[in-house]
Chains A and B, each alone.
Chain A
Amino acid sequence: MHELGITRNIVSIVEEAAKGRRVRRVTLDVGQFSGVMPDAILFCFDIVAKGTLLDGARLDIRKIGGRASCRTCHATFETATLYQACACGSHAIDRLAGEELKIREMEIEEAA
């Protein structure tokens, strides 16, 4: 449900950076634990982009998987959940990747 607001944020950030030029493509980094569903952003994007500099632009989403490190044994491991324990049994872990929610790249048309 909050993806619509997030998509509005994306469009307004990109529009501001494009400074009047048309935008062809936007690439996002969306982590597995970002709390955002990539499909829902794709669903909202075309509608939100209509009538803006992003109208007709392509949206690419790079999905980033979860990775964590253990504070007890210092191992690094891949994880698909926020609660998976380290192989050593510890739940005291730091997330290294998977929480990204960023605009990575944008492709804009050259000024005429």
Chain B
Amino acid sequence: MQILAKNDALAASNRGWFAGREILALNLVSSPGSGKTTLLERTIRDLKDQMLISVIEGDQATANDGERIRAAGAAAIQVNTGAGCHLEADMLAKGLLELKPAFGSVVMIENVGNLVCPAMFDLGEHAKVVILSVTEGDDKPLKYPHMFRAAKVMIINKIDLLAHVDFDVDSAIANARRINPEIVTLSVSVKTGEGLVGWYEWLHHEAAQVRL
């Protein structure tokens, strides 16, 4: 008997829920402070005429992130995990009933800032997007291999700070490819907007995939 069978079954049900509504669901994971919420705020603002985005916010406490997302112009539901270090499929299912995302829209699930546990819990998302900022170590893919292996995309954020830190983008990408040769990598600065075009193209491409 698979110990995570219950979560996996609920995740499969979420996956069907999304597929039936042609919704692109992405699970955003990273360490605390990588810029997940800021990336979402900017994405919502930049794509407001092209894509309907709503957000499920997972945090151990506070409703701060949900408020930031709503201020950016998107619907958001905050799911506080309390003592929990990750979101599980049943929490997402409950959040979706409240959020009621529209047919053909995009649901961004901002997981708890943690590179360990969220890797193990499938939520029924289309893909995991892992965000790594250049103020962290470029060996992080090797230190947290489960997450980088589970992710379809790695976004390297805060590249406007590269001149001030020892982070090497090429070695970060090489380290991620050692674990996951197929991972898509994007380098961006949410602050200056550099590289975000690539992220938006990827989003449009994936949104078209779920509509096939």
Question: Which residues of A are interface residues toward B (Cβ below 8 A)?
Answer: 1-2, 5-6, 9-10, 13, 17, 28, 33, 35-36, 81-83, 85, 91-92, 101-103
Contact = CB atoms under 8 A, between A and B. Distances in A.
B177 A101 contact: no
29 contacts: A1-B85, A1-B117, A2-B86, A2-B116, A5-B84, A5-B88, A6-B4, A10-B3, A13-B1, A13-B5, A13-B6, A17-B1, A28-B3, A33-B146, A35-B116, A35-B117, A36-B120, A81-B145, A82-B146, A82-B179, A83-B175, A85-B178, A91-B179, A92-B181, A101-B4, A102-B2, A102-B3, A103-B1, A103-B3
Q: Which of B1, B6, B7, B119 lies at the interface centre, i.e. has the most chain A CB atoms within 10 A of its CB?
A: B1
Contacts, number: 54
Interface in B107-129: 116-117, 119-120
Contact of A102 (B1, B84, B146): B1
B3 A101 contact: yes
Contacts of A10: 3
A35 B149 contact: no
B142 interface: yes
Nearest to A30: B3
Interface residues of B, number: 24
B146 A9 contact: no
Contacts of B2: 101-102
A-B pairs with the 10 shortest C-beta distances?
Answer: A82-B145, A2-B117, A83-B178, A103-B1, A83-B179, A35-B120, A1-B85, A101-B3, A91-B181, A92-B181
